[in-house]
Structure 1
Amino acid sequence: MRTEGLQAQRGYKRKNNYGGGDLSTVVPNLLNREFNVEKPNTVWVTDITYIRTQEGWLFLAVIIDLFSRQVIGWSMGSRINTDLVLNAITMACWRRKPKGEVTSWK
């Protein structure tokens, strides 16, 4: 790397964010840290994360079935919006076709 003049990136510049925003909505903890599920398609969990790329930030919404611990739906986009989440849920429902009620929590 030295002969080619390449260097590793040593972190990112961060902006100070001291501004206050709206309070987050707190949802009840229905799982109560009970992550062992006896049947598939009864409990799905979700999360959204962001990934830095050379072209900018990408946001990834993922849905995991707690029974199999497999990703059953995902969606990636350049903005966090309703479509990002709905596309992940649509993929999960299309792939799994749940028969009964599914509990889904972040």
Structure 2
Amino acid sequence: MTARCTVARLMRKMGLAGVVRGRTVRTTIPDPAAACPLDRVNRQFKAPRPNALWVSDFT
């Protein structure tokens, strides 16, 4: 048995690289021409004073 780090070091020294098989899956393709959705909930991201604006997420 040979340690993975030893094999990696020897391959790096010899200029070798492992083969990466398969394709990367691209799940989201952004559309820069798409319009931004409207702000229907009047989001306020600035609190007037400390502890005055609370946020939650239920997803």
Normalised by the length of structure 1, the TM-score is: 0.20
Indicate the structure with greater helix content: 2
Indicate the structure with greater strand content: 1
Normalised by the length of structure 2, the TM-score is: 0.25
Give the structure, 1 or 2, with the largest relative contact order (CA under 8 Å, sep 6 or more).
1
Larger CA Rg, structure 1 vs 2: 2
